[in-house]
Chain A
Amino acid sequence: MQFFFEVLIGGLLSGVLYALVALGFVLIFKASGVFNFAQGAMVFFAALTFVGFLEVLPGWTGLEAGGRAVFWLAFVLSLGAMVLLAIATERIVLRPLVNQPPITLFMATIGLTFLVEGIAQGIWGANVRGLNLGIKDEPIEYMMENFNILISSFDVFAAAVAAILVAALALFFQYTRIGRALRAVADDHQAALSIGIPLRHIWVIVWAVAGFVALVAGMIWGARNGVQFALTFTALKALPVLILGGFTSVPGAIVGGLIIGASEKLAEVYVGPFVGGGIESWFPYILALAFLLVRPEGLFGEKHIDRV
């Protein structure tokens, strides 16, 4: 039983990390109806920019390498880079493609993926880098001693960050002026436009917020596995979370992440050995698929009604 809980808790914590990436997808889909495949590339770009600045800033500014000042300066600069990326995306990709069918926009974001990947590696090189956020990735002793259950302190930290992020975003959506505008746009583009909400600004803001989420996700995943091209693959982990939780729901991303994370780990441990293992590549997708058969719009997605 102890092993079961260990796997379950580990899975839930991993699931939160998937949710972190899925969150970026949800934000953009909600506000602009674009299925942004470039989210994975944005995670990579953000993390690479961040460690890139960490490396070069001490040389440029004379600040102490590895110090707090450098860390926050790099963070702000990377955030700036993500905002620039958002503005450029709106200008170059979204604006000319307004009113095109969703699949065209989807393809455009795949094109954007290549662009962003090329730019990231073109600027910072193909080197694989480590990233130390100063949080130990070690088992929490209290849980080890009392229950013999292994829980990594880093995973708990990451889960806390994700929780704070989701809460902050929820508050942002609920109570700020921009948040209300965002919700209005998400509900009905036309109506939002007609009452004078500037659609383009909203898009830039949403992409910038998604960029911020990508930066946080990139820093956490980067600290876990290193900052390298494989960060783009985190998108593949996020997709089943997305369809399970629904494309348009922020809480759905978190709940979906928890379900996917826990069930894929349990499946790998308890089913995997009978079929040769490695089922984590497809199991979340099959699970999400099975779930969709029951509820085609995902857990918290908006129900779509067809009218003839």
Chain B
Amino acid sequence: MLYREAGQFKASYEADQQIFPILQDRVGVLLLIGFFALVVPLFADQYWLKAILIPVLIFSLAAIGLNILTGYAGQLSLGSAAFMAVGAFGAYNFMLRIDGMPFLVAILLGGLCAAAVGVVFGLPSLRIKGFYLAVATLAAQFFIVWALVKIEWFSNYSSSGVITAQEIEILGFAFDGPVSKYLLTLFVVVVMALLAKNMVRSTTGRMWMAVRDMDVAAEVIGIRLMRTKLTAFAVSSFYCGVAGALYAYTYIGTVEPEGFNLDLSFKILFMIIIGGVGSIMGSFLGAAFIVLLPIALDVFVPMFLGDLVSSSFVSNLQLIVFGGLIVFFLIVEPHGLARLWQIGKEKLRLWPFPH
């Protein structure tokens, strides 16, 4: 009853083509955005903003990027972190080398750099499939990080190979506090998430899904495989690149190429699997889960066991519980947290009646 779609008639094409065709979804999304944009900054303290909310948002964006590639276009990639690195180093160099570069333009350009690199490393996907492709994307992961360390121009010849993000200023307003950085991140992420949501139901998105479900069949009905796969790589890397730029500018501040290592790529993959493959909403849920779980374990495991066992064992126990929970989640809900939300929606549709 709460989730009643009956009676919502679509009288025009515009109404039928909205991103969220159901009233409750529209209200829900607006409420959520309103909550995170207006209420959270008032109440969240620095710790929550800096250490939890900003990274969750940034990783969500990267997860959306990977989800576009893996969830919608069906191409498994293990190189997301490297594309983030390209975005971060790209944005840094645009800010550094062009005077008066507007910040938002710089991160978009950083994203475009990542997209270009993504297309290059996406080329093998035309021939290679499945896990062969996944392992092949590791080439991108290792090569890009190596190149960023080796070619000193990228880090402006800094002796330690790290880059320090410049101050963010948009239209004369300096984004230097946690609240302003959080809002900026939120703005970028929300806009890009809505764009992604829109894109996956457009012609492009439907072509991706056709290729994902069976590329030979898609080709037969006239979808150009090369263009479709490469746009997926480009868009996905663009999202990862922007996420990387935000990672450098609104989150960490000073980044090293090695920070974008294979572990991070795996983490992003975890986010979409736990969150839900092929779901924008799932990317957010997955990112929140993967960021929060280890922190929660680190806080709670020692609280209960701290005095009983040695601190090394406590740390290892966290790792065991983390791995165990991942396996557990995959078993109980292989379609991810987004699926749980869907089930909830179904229930709400009928509630309070059983059928």
Q: Do chains A and B touch in the complex (CB under 8 A)?
A: yes
Complexed CA–CA distance, A130 and B216 (Å): 53
A82 within 8 A of B: no
Contact across chains for A111 and B324 when beta carbons are under 8 A apart: yes
Complexed CA–CA distance, A118 and B124 (Å): 36
In chain B between 194 and 242, which residues have their CB closer than 8 angstroms to a CB of chain A?
Answer: 214-217, 220
Complexed CA–CA distance, A107 and B329 (Å): 11
Complexed CA–CA distance, A103 and B269 (Å): 10
A278 within 8 A of B: yes
* 0/1 interface trace, chain B 295-328, chain A, CB 8 Å (1 if under): 0000000000000000011001111101111110
Contact across chains for B313 and A122 when beta carbons are under 8 A apart: yes
Contact across chains for A107 and B326 when beta carbons are under 8 A apart: yes
Contact across chains for B135 and A285 when beta carbons are under 8 A apart: yes
Partner of B334 from the list A104, A112, A125 (CB cut-off 8 Å) is A104
Contact across chains for B142 and A110 when beta carbons are under 8 A apart: no
Interface residue total, chain A, C-beta cutoff 8 A:
52
A117 within 8 A of B: yes
Interface residue total, chain B, C-beta cutoff 8 A:
45
* 0/1 interface trace, chain A 287-305, chain B, CB 8 Å (1 if under): 0110011001110000010
Contact across chains for A240 and B317 when beta carbons are under 8 A apart: no
Residue of B128, B129, B216, B312 contacting most chain A CB atoms (<10 Å): B128
B355 within 8 A of A: no
Partner of B143 from the list A116, A282, A298, A308 (CB cut-off 8 Å) is A282
Contact across chains for B139 and A292 when beta carbons are under 8 A apart: no
* 0/1 interface trace, chain A 111-150, chain B, CB 8 Å (1 if under): 1111111110110011000000000000000000000000
Contact across chains for B312 and A286 when beta carbons are under 8 A apart: no
* 0/1 interface trace, chain A 258-300, chain B, CB 8 Å (1 if under): 0000000000000000011011011001101100110011100
Contact across chains for B135 and A240 when beta carbons are under 8 A apart: yes
Complexed CA–CA distance, A116 and B323 (Å): 8
The chain B residue with its CB closest to the CB of A105 is B330
The chain B residue with its CB closest to the CB of A119 is B320
Contact across chains for B136 and A114 when beta carbons are under 8 A apart: no
Contact across chains for A108 and B135 when beta carbons are under 8 A apart: no
| B124 contact set on A, CB distance < 8 A | 289, 292-293
Contact across chains for A111 and B220 when beta carbons are under 8 A apart: no
| B220 contact set on A, CB distance < 8 A | 308
| B129 contact set on A, CB distance < 8 A | 296, 304
A254 within 8 A of B: no
Question: Given A276-B150, A286-B143, A308–B214 Cβ distance below 8 Å?
Answer: yes
Complexed CA–CA distance, A42 and B110 (Å): 39
| B317 contact set on A, CB distance < 8 A | 118, 122
Contact across chains for A298 and B320 when beta carbons are under 8 A apart: no
| A195 contact set on B, CB distance < 8 A | none
Contact across chains for B142 and A104 when beta carbons are under 8 A apart: no
A163 within 8 A of B: no
Complexed CA–CA distance, A292 and B273 (Å): 27
Contact across chains for B327 and A108 when beta carbons are under 8 A apart: yes
Contact across chains for A115 and B320 when beta carbons are under 8 A apart: yes
Looking at the assembled complex, report how far the CB atom of A201 sits from the nearest CB atom of chain B, in whole angstroms.
21
Looking at the assembled complex, report how far the CB atom of B298 sits from the nearest CB atom of chain A, in whole angstroms.
14
A2 within 8 A of B: no
A100 within 8 A of B: yes
Contact across chains for A282 and B322 when beta carbons are under 8 A apart: no
Contact across chains for A35 and B131 when beta carbons are under 8 A apart: yes
A97 within 8 A of B: yes
Question: Given A107-B326, A108-B327, A308-B220, A285–B334 Cβ distance below 8 Å?
Answer: no
Complexed CA–CA distance, A308 and B135 (Å): 26
The chain A residue with its CB closest to the CB of B327 is A111
| A111 contact set on B, CB distance < 8 A | 323-327, 330
Contact across chains for B217 and A308 when beta carbons are under 8 A apart: yes
A62 within 8 A of B: no
B130 within 8 A of A: yes
Complexed CA–CA distance, A101 and B327 (Å): 14
A84 within 8 A of B: no
Looking at the assembled complex, report how far the CB atom of A34 sits from the nearest CB atom of chain B, in whole angstroms.
10
| B324 contact set on A, CB distance < 8 A | 111, 115
* 0/1 interface trace, chain A 141-174, chain B, CB 8 Å (1 if under): 0000000000000000000000000000000000
* 0/1 interface trace, chain B 262-279, chain A, CB 8 Å (1 if under): 100010011001000100
| A297 contact set on B, CB distance < 8 A | 132
B291 within 8 A of A: no
The chain B residue with its CB closest to the CB of A240 is B135
Contact across chains for B330 and A282 when beta carbons are under 8 A apart: no
A242 within 8 A of B: yes
A93 within 8 A of B: yes
| B130 contact set on A, CB distance < 8 A | 102
| B323 contact set on A, CB distance < 8 A | 111-118
Chain B residues near A (Cβ < 8 Å) = 70, 76, 124, 127-132, 134-136, 138-139, 142-143, 146, 150, 214-217, 220, 262, 266, 269-270, 273, 277, 312-313, 316-320, 322-327, 330-331, 334
Closest 9 CB pairs of A and B: A114-B323, A111-B326, A118-B319, A115-B323, A285-B139, A118-B320, A122-B316, A282-B142, A282-B143
Known: A113-B323, A115-B323, A285-B142. 18 other contacts (CB 8 A): A92-B327, A103-B277, A104-B273, A107-B330, A115-B319, A116-B323, A118-B318, A118-B319, A121-B316, A247-B131, A276-B150, A282-B142, A285-B143, A292-B124, A306-B216, A307-B216, A308-B216, A308-B220
13 A-B residue pairs with Cβ-Cβ distance under 8 Å, sorted by A, are A97-B334, A111-B324, A113-B323, A114-B326, A115-B323, A118-B317, A121-B319, A278-B150, A279-B146, A285-B136, A286-B143, A289-B128, A292-B127
